[in-house]
Amino acid sequence: MDTTQRSGTARFDVAEQVALEYTTGFCTDSAAVDDELMARLAEQFESGEIVELTLVIGKYLSMGRFMQVLGLDQTCSLQSQLAQG
């Protein structure tokens, strides 16, 4: 993911870039989230903000997996249910 350039200007600021890097690591290989990344995150965010960011990431990750396992991530069938009326 190119988080730095868009039409010659910064696409995301430094805080957003490190938050995106943290999110990607958390979701794809959480064991690879190392002290260096956490230090860069701490340079941009207060400890409470890091906790909140981590909670939000975890909530959305688990919700996505919950929906996938139950088959709820497929096309919404609400329209067919309404049509049957």
pLDDT digits (tens, 9 = 90+) for 55-75: 999 999 999 888 888 888 666
Q: Which residues are 6's β-sheet partners?
A: 9
Short-list 84, 83, 32, 20, CA closest to 57: 20
Q: Which amino acid belongs to residue 67?
A: M
pTM of the model: 0.72
Residues 9-58: tens digit of each pLDDT: 578 999 999 999 999 999 999 998 999 999 999 999 999 999 999 999 99
